[in-house]
Amino acid sequence: MKRFIVFAVALTVACSAVVAQKIPHSVKTYNEATARRTEIILPQVKGYNCYKGDFHIHTSYSDGSVNPAGRVVEAWLDGLDVIAITDHYEGRSGERRFFKVIAPYFNGGEPLKYQSAGKAKSVKADFNAIHQEAVDQVEKSGYPMLLIKGCEMARGADTHGHFNALFLQDLNGLYDADLEVAFKRVKEQGGIIIHNHPAWKRKTSDKTEFHERVYSLGLIDGVEVVNGYTFYPHIVRRCIDEGLTMFGNTDEHGTTAHRFRQNGNLRTMTIIFAKELTEKAIKDAILKRRTIAYSGGYLIGEESWLIEFLNAAVDCRLTAVKEKNEHIYMLTNQSSIPLRLRRGRTIYELEPFKPILVSFGKDKEGVEATKPLYTVDNMWVADYKHPKVEIEIDK
Ligand SMILES: [Zn+2]
Ligand SMILES: [Zn+2]
């Protein structure tokens, strides 16, 4: 009996201990640290890798709503490889708001006066520190991402417009009331300049007097053929005729989730054909104009690069030759970007990684009728045209 009582007591103690152990006070329902990136798979083109970049992004330090660290995380999850944070040099409403909030704690309670760079004729912010916040986030996260140091210089839309200065060493001290002088300071640092949203707040994308001058002086290296979801068809021709690089940038001020992902789109980007993800290789590719732009399902660029891209992305196999000259091809889009091909009035939607079988030549004579020759409806080349591409067979 005594042994039974000892056993019963021991059992009760053990059970209550087990119960106490079994109910933890906090339990994780999900591992939030493993947020998944949208990987954008693109082919190798002419021996180059396709890197995905956005060279025009704002943070809460100018007039955006996300801080630099948030921009890095966002770009990583969106599938990008290289970004430039390009806060406005002249007008930074974010700082002004911040000044308003902290004003009671300084200057004996007197409101602090905020002066933008433009009005003060000197920079009152440390732009390098903005870039450094993004660099710190890349290092903290361990993302294999490249950050380019840059800023946006903005003056009146009708006369000057907006320009991004990229690949800089020191962002402070670039300002000058004369924008042309500021451009020359960018060039002294080995930086490049791109003309942003060329028809913004204007009815035309034609050059102004200021543009004529700075373009002819060789100060402009590239132009945004697309900014966010706005495409500037005339700019494709300008880039080809004047040897300028085409860019597709978001100019994001809000969140890309809201603007792109929630609309079911990949983010607007510049696709860069480069050997490796280093500042030198990316800059070299940009200066040699090895880019195409992507926006809202469209690819925009020089015809030769678009054709190379399409042929690298699409695997085309002749699967059967039947009676009456009928040729059957299997087409597989091996990239993450859907392609919309057209032959006559027939449309062929090439969704990523979903092969389709197509038939050509039946009851028609000659080799021409059997060729996989298409107009690519979701590509734009110069003069607001779609390219015609003959797809390489069994490559
Ligand atoms: Zn702008
Ligand atoms: Zn901007």
| Tens-digit pLDDT profile for residues 309-340 | 999 999 999 999 999 999 999 999 999 999 99
Is the pLDDT assigned to residue 206 strictly greater than 80?
A: yes
Burial 200-234 (b: 16+ CB within 10 A, else e): eeeeebebbebbeebbeeebbbbbbbbbbebbbbb
Same domain, 254 and 350: no
Which CATH number does the domain housing residue 214 bear? 3.20.20.140
Mean pLDDT of 110-127: 57
Task: List, for residues 256-278, the tens digit of each pLDDT value.
Answer: 999 999 999 999 999 999 999 99
At 121 the pLDDT is 44
Show which of 275, 301, 327 is a domain's final residue: 301
Whether 374 is covered by a domain: the verdict is: yes
Distance of alpha carbon 237 from alpha carbon 169, whole angstroms? 32
Whether 307 is covered by a domain: the verdict is: no
Question: Which residues sit with Cβ closer than 5 angstroms to ligand 1, an ion?
Answer: 162, 196
Same domain, 291 and 363: no
335 CA from centroid of ligand 2 (Å)? 29
| Domains in the chain, number | 2
Show which of 273, 301, 329 is a domain's final residue: 301
Distance of alpha carbon 31 from alpha carbon 78, whole angstroms? 19
Is the pLDDT assigned to residue 2 strictly greater than 70?
A: no
Q: Which ligand is nearest to the CA of 63?
A: 2
Continuous H helices in 142-278:
179-188, 209-216, 233-242, 256-259
Q: Which ligand is nearest to the CA of 151?
A: 2
152 CA from centroid of ligand 1 (Å)? 7
Same domain, 323 and 242: no
Is the pLDDT assigned to residue 11 strictly greater than 80?
A: no
User: What are the residues whose beta carbons fall under 8 Å from the beta carbon of 67, sequence distance 6 or more?
Assistant: 59, 60, 61, 133
Angle between helices 179-188 and 209-216 (to 10 degrees): 20
Whether 309 is covered by a domain: the verdict is: no
Give just the sign of the alpha carbon dihedral 294, 300, 302, 305. Answer: positive
* The model's pTM: 0.91
Provide the domain limits for residue 347: 315-378
Residue 85's pLDDT band, with cuts at 50, 70 and 90, is very high
Residue 101's pLDDT band, with cuts at 50, 70 and 90, is confident
At 122 the pLDDT is 40
Contact in structure between 336 and 374 (CB atoms under 8 Å): no
Whether 331 is covered by a domain: the verdict is: yes
Distance of alpha carbon 42 from alpha carbon 12, whole angstroms? 64
Whether 306 is covered by a domain: the verdict is: no
Same domain, 286 and 227: yes
Is the pLDDT assigned to residue 107 strictly greater than 80?
A: no
Most confident range (mean pLDDT) of 46-55, 98-107, 167-176 is 46-55
Lowest mean pLDDT among 33-37, 60-64, 147-151, 346-350: 33-37
Mean pLDDT of 181-209: 97
137 CA from centroid of ligand 1 (Å)? 25
Is the pLDDT assigned to residue 144 strictly greater than 70?
A: yes
196 CA from centroid of ligand 2 (Å)? 8
Whether 238 is covered by a domain: the verdict is: yes
Whether 207 is covered by a domain: the verdict is: yes
147 CA from centroid of ligand 1 (Å)? 20
User: What are the residues whose beta carbons fall under 8 Å from the beta carbon of 178, sequence distance 6 or more?
Assistant: none
Distance of alpha carbon 149 from alpha carbon 282, whole angstroms? 13
Mean pLDDT of all residues belonging to the chain: 91
92 CA from centroid of ligand 2 (Å)? 11
Residue 99's pLDDT band, with cuts at 50, 70 and 90, is confident
- Residue with token string 């006559």: 344
Same domain, 290 and 331: no
- Both tokens assigned to 78: 């969106």
- Both tokens assigned to 278: 């280093």
Same domain, 232 and 320: no
Whether 104 is covered by a domain: the verdict is: yes
Q: Which ligand is nearest to the CA of 154?
A: 1
293 CA from centroid of ligand 2 (Å)? 17
Number of other residues whose CB lies within 10 A of the CB of residue 295:
24
59 CA from centroid of ligand 1 (Å)? 13
Same domain, 109 and 66: yes
Contact in structure between 291 and 246 (CB atoms under 8 Å): yes
Show which of 301, 330, 365 is a domain's final residue: 301
365 CA from centroid of ligand 1 (Å)? 55
163 CA from centroid of ligand 2 (Å)? 8
pLDDT over 90 percentage in the chain: 81
318 CA from centroid of ligand 1 (Å)? 48
